[in-house]
Amino acid sequence: MTAKLYTTITAITITALSLLLLLIAAPHALLAQSDAVAESPDSATTAVAQVPDLGPILITVEDFPSDAGEALIIGWEDPGYVSLPDFIEYRVTRYTDDSDNGMVIGTSVLNPEVIDGEASHSIAHSYTVAAVFPDHEVISARSEPAMAEIQWVAADKYAVIIIGIFVCAAVIFFIETAKRGKTLFLRRIAGLEAIDEAVGRATEMGRPILFVAGIQDMDDVQTLAGLTILGRVARTVAQYDSKINMPCRASLVMTAGREVIKEAYNVAGRPDAYSDDMVHYVTDEQFGFVAATNGIMVREKPATCFYLGAFFAESLILAETGNSIEAIQIAGTAMPAQLPFFVAACDYTLIGEELFAASAYLSEEPRQLGSLKGQDVGKALAMIAIVVGGISVTLAQAWDIGLFQVIESALRTAFNIQLPVR
Amino acid sequence: MTFQQYIPIIVVGIGLIWIFIRSWRGQDVDRRIVFSFIGLTVALALIFQVMFGERATAIVRAAYDKIENLPEGSRILLSYDFDPAMAPEVHPMANSFIRHAMAKNHKLYLYSLWATGQTLLQESLTEVLEPEFPEKEYGKDWVVMGYKAGNEGVLNVIVTDIRKMYPTDVHNTSLDSLPIYDGVKSLKDFDLLISVGGGKPGVKEWVLFAGDRANVPVAGGSAAVSAPLLYPYYPRQLIGLLGGTKGAAEYESELIREYPRFADIDTPALRMMGPQTMAHVVIIAFILIGNVAYFRGKRKRRSEV
Amino acid sequence: MKRQIPLIIIMTVGWVLMVSVFVPPFESWGEEASLFFDIIAVFAFFLGGGNLIRVHFTKINRKSEGWGFSVVTVAGFAVMLILGLFKIGGSISAPVDTAGTPFELMFRYVMSPLQATMYSLLAFYVASASYRAFRARNIEATILLIAAFVILLGRTPFGFYLTAWIPESFSILEIPNMAVWIMNSPNLAGQRAIMIGIALGVISMSLRLLLGIERSYLGGD
């Protein structure tokens, strides 16, 4: 199966599955919630004469939203027992059958709600709520049996799903557009244009190139972005017959880095020039890694330094040391707090999304370029939401204009849904 | 300030003038000179204990005024949400809040959402509360609840029912036998919630999960690096915020100014502000010198052309 | 095959993680997948440690330039490994960082001060970076320079005293208040804009990874 066909089939399958999930699961989730609501009938109470009869304790049992059918919410109306002087607590008991063998699953004083986190979607449970006093209890009647329901789509994430599908669809659309031969405009990214020049400079000076792919492990997407650029840098290094040194903070990054550089040397036709010692592990300790890398920089004096990946406080230490040895420095990170340090101290900085765009930019492959265009559609959506949201909230709150209050409410609901905590 | 405290300022001032003259003459400033200057400045400021007076900014003053204006006997919750790494910055804030609350005869409830917070809380008791306020009674004027795991989950519970999460205090005494907990069932019964820390859970979690839901004012003390992220909550959701060492120093200076009994207390934040202030001034001076050198060089090149 | 198996693993695990976020019954799948990564990462420690020893022993054997540093590295590695692995000075059943043990003392009196020393280098580097970077080359650089001055002064008592004379109605012009406004408004707006761009970049990159379009991190195109 060719990669092209595989990609297309996968993309269509994903989109179809997502839509199918939404169509099936959403009504099911809503139905499950309403089905699971069970109320207790007017309850007789079991009480001793000292406690005044303030009326029945009415229980409601609802399914816990957006879960795998493992929880129920037991709520009740307090007829006034809380304000009695010797009231201790409300106690909720769960029953799995008609016998009187129940298990206390929770207590509450003021909050008229307890979550049963051990309910089941295959066994029906009923509940009683008892107002507890020092010498006696007032127990409600048992609720109707209720089962937890499985929700197949997380209700609090509908907005994320919809936006995610929209952005993914845009990316796939532009990938297909680019594959059909349409030229897509990309603005120039100075840091990426300078890679060849930077490697050439190192070759002329006879000094090595230092490459640091961030200090995070392979589970960070910034590290992967750094490694994609490493491939391109390593190929240029191999072609120019220069030297590259890549200290790593994580062993898996070391392994991946070796594969990337080895393959780059193979592609450049210089497999003999590759050595495993080009990529080496230093330490997992953050400042230990920085100290070692600084030592390498001060002793070996690389002519070019690349810092491409996730960095934290050590960003300025690396950049300033590179500055002191008069190296060309090209940095890129998606950590907003570290960007100012790189911008101040490095010659070129890839800011945030430019780091992720690098592989597409350097390869100039239509499929990858198309994904950048699709990303821009997402940005346009964000800009529209910010403008519309800002105007709506301002007009709604300043002048109480009804339409904008509705828009504001819809936006708040879509982006800020909160669930009860289990 | 004493004459001794002026020595670092004089020495650094002379040095900066020397560097300015060098730059004016077109000589570049080596980075080693910059490093030496910073090292010298901070070292001299620490050795000669340079301290500058501070005035509270509005955001710090708001927190101060809240405690100051609460009626005597108000219930204040103070949460220690930091670890030893952050302690130099935020521990002085916590100590200041304790002093202020005790001086105003408020009731203090000491909590912690960080495991390391409990040890640091104990340090405050040993160094501040017990020696400076021996007349205050445990269980009546102040109480230690200690650390509970669960981050914002703890807040979700105690916002409606404290005893569900904390049936006893840190000494295993039932809350019902502590006079300080008479009439206190949940966070809604407090008059002020204060969180001191710089990570998660911290001030933001207290604002979102406690203050907003219980409708109780929240004040905070935060490490300098986290403070900018909390500014959006001020002043509606966060009534006041102490940001970093500067915030702690401002609060300490207000306490010393308005409470004569605190005139001789140890003020670590004010002490740290001396070197920090001098280092900032040196950096500003170097920036100015750098720009002078840049424009002089530019003019020289233009005149040569 | 060498590239297709990793691709299949990446795509499978990637989709499992996506599904685990949005489909509650499969939430635990995401946690299991993360555990797989943790297990692999732990095995990779041996890889990294072995590489470290090999590289430095080679340097020592050949007496290459800077081989003395390699002796220190290997010695430190060996000492901490032995002290921790055999829990020397403490009970074998107690935690490795029990107070008073040589391991804990080495951490507290060697490791922590070294960490603090490296971290404190930032103070010096901030000064040298500021000296070099804040030049009024153009309008944007001048605005940046002015903002830097305001922030730096705002964090000192001088900032307060310089503008204490400003009347209450214009208090926003006081340097400390201006510093707070700069951090709270333009700075935060810029940060949030960058974060939105980053989030979209991550979506795009992740989609390329999941669809197998992006493969250079495996070696080759």
Distance from C-alpha of C98 to C-alpha of A298, rounded to nearest angstrom: 38
pLDDT band, very low/low/confident/very high, at A1 (cuts 50, 70, 90)? very low
Looking at residue A4, its pLDDT comes to 52
CA distance A300 to chain C (A): 10
- A68 DSSP β-pair partners: A150
Looking at residue A44, its pLDDT comes to 43
| CB atoms B31 and C126 under 8 Å | no
Residues of C in contact with A351 (CB under 8 A): 194, 197
Convert the pLDDT of each residue in A371-397 to its tens digit: 888 888 988 988 998 898 889 888 888
Partner B, chain A 302-331, Cβ-Cβ below 8 Å = 324
Partner A, chain C 12-31, Cβ-Cβ below 8 Å = 21-27
For residue B67, give every residue at least 6 positions away whose Cβ sits within 8 Å of its Cβ, in sequence order, or none. B76, B97, B100, B101, B104, B106, B192, B219
Convert the pLDDT of each residue in B213-228 to its tens digit: 888 999 999 988 888 8
Q: Is C165 on the interface with A (CB under 8 A)?
A: no
Dihedral angle at the C-alpha atoms of B270, B271, B272, B278, nearest 10 degrees?
90
Distance from C-alpha of A103 to C-alpha of A96, rounded to nearest angstrom: 9
Other CB atoms within a 10 A radius of the CB of residue A139 amount to 19
Distance from C-alpha of C53 to C-alpha of C74, rounded to nearest angstrom: 7
Convert the pLDDT of each residue in B57-76 to its tens digit: 889 999 999 999 999 999 99
CA of C182: which chain B residue's CA is closest?
Answer: B228
Q: What pTM does this model have?
A: 0.81
Distance from C-alpha of B121 to C-alpha of B130, rounded to nearest angstrom: 12
Looking at residue A420, its pLDDT comes to 39
For A155, which DSSP code? G
| CB atoms C130 and A336 under 8 Å | no
Other CB atoms within a 10 A radius of the CB of residue A99 amount to 7
Amino acid in position C218? L
| CB atoms A111 and B153 under 8 Å | no
| CB atoms A157 and C22 under 8 Å | yes
The torsion angles phi and psi of A213, rounded to 5 degrees, stand at -95, 40
- The predicted model gives B163-179 an average pLDDT of 90
The torsion angles phi and psi of A140, rounded to 5 degrees, stand at -80, 170
Full DSSP string of A378-410: HHHHHHHHHHHHHHHHHHHHHH--HHHHHHHHH
Q: Among B90-104, C7-21, C48-62, name the one with the lowest average pLDDT.
A: C7-21
Q: Strand, coil or helix: what is B156?
A: helix
What whole-number percentage of chain A has pLDDT above 90? 46
Q: Which residue has the tokens 């599904």?
A: C19
Edge-to-edge strand list for the sheet holding A58-63:
A38-39, A58-63, A72-77, A113-116
pLDDT band, very low/low/confident/very high, at A184 (cuts 50, 70, 90)? confident
CA of C123: which chain B residue's CA is closest?
Answer: B38
Task: Residue B32: name the closest of C151, C99, A324, A191 by CA.
Answer: A324
Q: List helix spans (H) across B48-181.
A: 58-69, 87-103, 117-124, 130-132, 152-158, 162-165
* Token reading at A367: 């499929």
Amino acid in position C48? G
Looking at residue C89, its pLDDT comes to 87
What's chain A's average pLDDT? 84
- The listed range with the strongest mean pLDDT (A287-296, B6-15, C2-11) is A287-296
Looking at residue A418, its pLDDT comes to 43
Q: Which residue has the tokens 């409990």?
A: B118
Distance from C-alpha of B130 to C-alpha of B144, rounded to nearest angstrom: 13
Convert the pLDDT of each residue in C169-195 to its tens digit: 888 888 988 988 898 889 888 988 999
* Token reading at C150: 């305001």
- The predicted model gives A331-346 an average pLDDT of 92
Residues of A in contact with B186 (CB under 8 A): 110
What whole-number percentage of chain C has pLDDT above 90? 29
Task: Residue A227: name the closest of A199, A203, A248, A242 by CA.
Answer: A248
Q: Are A208 and A234 in contact (CB under 8 A)?
A: no
| CB atoms B276 and C123 under 8 Å | no
Dihedral angle at the C-alpha atoms of B80, B82, B88, B93, nearest 10 degrees?
-30
Distance from C-alpha of B255 to C-alpha of B253, rounded to nearest angstrom: 5
Residues of B in contact with A324 (CB under 8 A): 31
The interface predicted TM-score (ipTM) is: 0.90
| CB atoms B186 and A324 under 8 Å | no
Residue A209, pLDDT > 90, answer yes
CA distance C167 to chain A (A): 28
Residue A48, pLDDT > 80, answer no
Looking at residue A288, its pLDDT comes to 92
CA of A337: which chain B residue's CA is closest?
Answer: B225
Q: Among A110-119, A229-238, C47-56, C142-151, name the one with the lowest average pLDDT.
A: A110-119
Q: Are A125 and A36 in contact (CB under 8 A)?
A: no
* Token reading at C202: 């991550």
Distance from C-alpha of C13 to C-alpha of A406, rounded to nearest angstrom: 41
pLDDT band, very low/low/confident/very high, at A416 (cuts 50, 70, 90)? low
- What's the per-residue H, E or C state across chain C? CCCHHHHHHHHHHHHHHHHHHHCHHHHHHHHHHHHHHHHHHHHHHHHHHHHHHHHHHHHHHHCCCCHHHHHHHHHHHHHHHHHHHCCCCCCCCCCCCCCCCHHHHHHHHHHHHHHHHHHHHHHHHHHHHHHHHCCCCCHHHHHHHHHHHHHHHHCCHHHHHHCCCCCHHHHHHCHHHHHHHHHHHHHHHHHHHHHHHHHHHHHHHHHHHHCCCCCHHHCCC
* Token reading at A374: 């699709």
The torsion angles phi and psi of B110, rounded to 5 degrees, stand at -105, 115
Dihedral sign, Cα of residue A301, residue A302, residue A306, residue A309? negative
Q: Is B265 on the interface with C (CB under 8 A)?
A: no
Full DSSP string of A86-127: T--EEEEEEESSSSS-EEEEEEESS-SEEEETT--SSS-BEE
- The b/e string for C118-129 (b: 16+ C-beta within 10 A; e otherwise) is bbebbbbbbbbb
Task: Residue A216: name the closest of A297, A321, A355, A333 by CA.
Answer: A333
Rg of the Cα atoms in chain C = 27
Strands B107-112, A137-139: pairing kind? unpaired
pLDDT band, very low/low/confident/very high, at A19 (cuts 50, 70, 90)? low
Q: Are A245 and A302 in contact (CB under 8 A)?
A: yes
CA–centroid distance for A349 within its chain = 25
Of the candidates C114, C126, C211, the beta carbon closest to that of A11 is on C211
For residue B94, give every residue at least 6 positions away whose Cβ sits within 8 Å of its Cβ, in sequence order, or none. B78, B80, B120, B121, B124, B196, B221
Looking at residue C162, its pLDDT comes to 87
Looking at residue A171, its pLDDT comes to 87
* Token reading at B301: 């090149």
CA–centroid distance for A277 within its chain = 35
What's chain C's average pLDDT? 87
Q: Is A109 on the interface with B (CB under 8 A)?
A: yes
Distance from C-alpha of C3 to C-alpha of C6, rounded to nearest angstrom: 6
Other CB atoms within a 10 A radius of the CB of residue C96 amount to 14
| CB atoms B58 and C183 under 8 Å | no
Strands (E), A133-214: 137-139, 209-212
Convert the pLDDT of each residue in C48-64 to its tens digit: 999 999 999 999 999 98
* Token reading at A419: 């669930």
Convert the pLDDT of each residue in C99-118 to its tens digit: 788 988 888 889 888 888 89
| CB atoms A255 and C198 under 8 Å | no
pLDDT band, very low/low/confident/very high, at B116 (cuts 50, 70, 90)? confident
Q: Among A41-45, A399-403, B49-53, name the one with the lowest average pLDDT.
A: A41-45
Looking at residue A158, its pLDDT comes to 81
Of the candidates A151, A232, A336, the beta carbon closest to that of C195 is on A336
- The listed range with the strongest mean pLDDT (A6-10, A114-118, A267-271, A417-421) is A267-271
